[in-house]
Every structure is written in structure tokens, then in C-alpha cells.
Amino acid sequence: MKIFILFMCLLAVTYGKDPEGVKILFENLEQCVKELPKCENLKRNPLVSVPAWHCALKRVGVVTKDDEVIKKKGIDYCKAVMMDEHLEYCYRVVTWCIEKEDEKLGSNFEKTSRKLECIILHGVMGMIVKPKEENA
């Protein structure tokens, strides 16, 4: 799928600590994008799409069926998809965004959406590098 933004293409292709975790993440994101309603204003790049992340993180248990983020699982997920040099930043941002948005009013879905938006805006998702495809 040729939907990833240009800066992702320019990054050196490397793997997170768990190449299988990164592969599963991208498979989930791509599948979620296909399942989401098609809207003109829906971002096409799943790395910056709150609905795509919400769906993908639900599939791996970071977001519950009740739309709550499990903080420990969110922080632990950094290990599965981040390179070592980005882990500390991921931990800090994920923790801060979750705690900051938990203080605000809103439904679980609204809070989770704001948490994901916060994490995206702080560049965490842009630090995840898609693994090379096996037939590429």
C-alpha cells in the first residue's frame, strides 16, 4: 500500500525490538483503514489516523471493548514497535497523553480519541518504521 507519507519513505528501514510486533501493527492498521467508512476528511495515512489507531490498538488489547486505554499495555506496546533510541520518548509521551486526557471530561471513546491524537501530534507514530515486505 502506497499510503505512507513521504518522510516515512525517507527513513532507513529498520525494525523495532519485535519485528513481528511491527508487522502485526502495520497489518492491523491497513486492515482497519479498509474497514473504516470512507470519508473525504479521513486521513489516508494510517500512522496519523486516530480511527485507524483506535481500531488497531483494540485488536491487540491496548484499547478495551469499552474504549478505555489500558495505560500499562500502551506503555508496554512501545517496546514492541519502537527502536531502542525512541523508547524513552515513547514512554514519556504515552504516559503524559494518557494522564492528561484522563483528567478531562468525556466518554471513554472521546478520551481515547484525544489520547491517540495527543500521541500522534507528539510524533510517536512517525518513529515507527514499516518493515520491508518479504517479496519487495
pLDDT of 63-106, one tens digit each?
999 999 999 999 988 888 888 899 999 999 999 999 999 999 99
Confidence of residue 38 (pLDDT cuts 50, 70, 90): low
SS3 state of residue 38:
coil
Instruction: Find, among 2, 25, 1, the residue nearest to 128 by Cα.
Output: 25
Q: What is the pLDDT of residue 42?
A: 56
Q: CA 64, 67, 68 angle in degrees (round to 5)?
A: 70
DSSP assignment string, 104-122: S-S-HHHHHHHHHHHHHHT
Q: Domain 21-33+46-127: give its CATH architecture.
A: Orthogonal Bundle (1.10)
pTM above 0.85, yes or no: no
